[in-house]
Amino acid sequence: MKTKLKVLSVIGTRPEAVKMAPVIRELARRAGRVESLVVATAQHREMLDQTLEVFRIVPDIDLDIMRPRQSLERVTSAVLKGMEKVLRENKPDVLLVQGDTTTAFAAALAAFHAKVAIGHVEAGLRSFDFWNPYPEEMNRRLVDAMADWCFAPTARARDNLRKEGVPSNRVFVTGNTVVDAVRYALKKPFRARDCPIAGRGRLLLVTAHRRENWDQPLSNICDALRELVEEFADLQIVYPVHLNPRVRRTVMARLKKVPRVHLIEPVDYLALLRLMKRAHLILTDSGGIQEEAPTFGKPVLVMRKVTERPEAVEAGAAIVVGTDCNRIVSATRRLLTDASAYRRMIATANPYGDGQATRRIVEILLR
């Protein structure tokens, strides 16, 4: 008689690894009731490996699909083909995916084809714009439609799912596992490399790499950063530049020689958290950073047209500023010069969870 639940967790990018790491660790802790296998697609090779090292996770299966200048079509087909074999050979009871990446969508589709139950961690997020973020908005909608368990991080995400007709017995509000991940990571000993910028002055942390911001929008962001550092003599900007060639080409061309703009290589998760903690203000088009920054009480300016994470905006901890150069400069200037405006954006609590999401998810699966 089968006594253990066999769970296959699939990760492909750094954000997936961060948010799935607490779940994977909890599944391993329940070894008496769970057989846990981890599959890495390596949609993003180097940044995924950095994160897995932080959380001390070694994948059981590595599809190693990443190739130079890979297209969405190639990633989708490579994950789909690779997962077909993995599912056939391992026969899991449940496949877990996280978020809205192409890895999450293609792995869920493979599980659906194989009639394997699907759990979707961070279900129900919506921007209500198929092209922003692209292709993530469509990916998460498709995964939610296939999922047997939709683990919604917030009540708003739950409501989105119910409005789309997802049965209530498939939807569970758990909180966001990113809060669990931050708490785990911050317990690790500090290393000097965990904060690569230690200079004086106010630190502005920037991350910008999203597909819909490539080319002209990213150029606008870079122009805004140049204006800001020229206007504020005490400002230090640190920008870990994504490895994507189109991102690097634009950023290096516009900011490489600008004083006090530090263009650094992508950092591991601990270093990113230390930079958030050190920063005075954060400008980002990332989804995860919008959720992590409130833990540190750091105001966030979201450089996107829309966000599928409105909870921080409603809590006053984030503002959506888009990618217009003048608007970015104006919003940043205000927070650099108006102390009361800055104080109003310091979150008193993280609106995305209480650090117990992982426990809730695993207990729901075991029930």
**Pairwise CA distance, residues 149 & 120, whole Å:** 6
Q: pLDDT tens, position by position, for the chain (367 residues)?
A: 568 999 999 999 999 999 999 999 999 999 999 999 999 999 988 888 989 999 999 999 999 999 988 999 999 999 999 999 999 999 999 999 999 999 999 999 999 999 999 999 999 999 999 999 999 999 999 999 999 999 999 999 999 999 999 999 999 999 999 999 999 998 887 665 556 665 678 999 999 999 999 999 999 999 999 999 999 999 999 999 998 999 999 999 999 999 999 999 998 899 999 999 999 999 999 999 999 999 999 999 999 999 999 999 999 999 999 999 999 999 999 999 999 999 999 977 889 999 999 999 999 999 9
Alpha carbon separation from 157 to 71, 164, 172, 305, 310 (Å, rounded): 29, 11, 10, 19, 10
Identify the pLDDT of residue 188. 82
Check residue 153 and report its DSSP letter.
Answer: S
Identify the pLDDT of residue 193. 59
Identify the pLDDT of residue 243. 87
State the catalytic residues.
100, 122, 136, 209, 211, 242
- Could you list the beta-strand ranges (E) of the chain: 5-11, 34-40, 61-62, 94-98, 117-121, 149-152, 171-173, 202-207, 235-240, 261-264, 281-284, 300-302, 318-320
DSSP string, 332-362: HHHHHH-HHHHHHTS-SS-TT--S-HHHHHH
Please give the radius of gyration of the chain, using alpha carbons only, rounded to the nearest integer.
20
Q: Which residue has the tokens 């066999």?
A: 6
Structure token digits, residue 15? 């954000």
Check residue 238 and report its DSSP letter.
Answer: E
Identify the pLDDT of residue 200. 74
Give the chain's domains with CATH numbers.
Answer: 5-176+354-366 (3.40.50.2000), 193-344 (3.40.50.2000)
Identify the pLDDT of residue 192. 59
User: What letter represents residue 26's amino acid?
Assistant: E
Identify the bridge partners of residue 96 per DSSP, sorted by sequence position.
9, 119
**Residues 303 and 208 sit within 8 Å (Cβ to Cβ):** yes
Q: Which helix (H) or strand (E) holds 126?
A: none
Identify the pLDDT of residue 10. 98
Contacts of 258 by beta carbon, 8 Å cutoff, 6+ apart: 225, 226, 229
What confidence tens digit (pLDDT) does each residue in 8-63 have?
A: 999 999 999 999 999 999 999 999 999 999 999 999 888 889 899 999 999 999 99
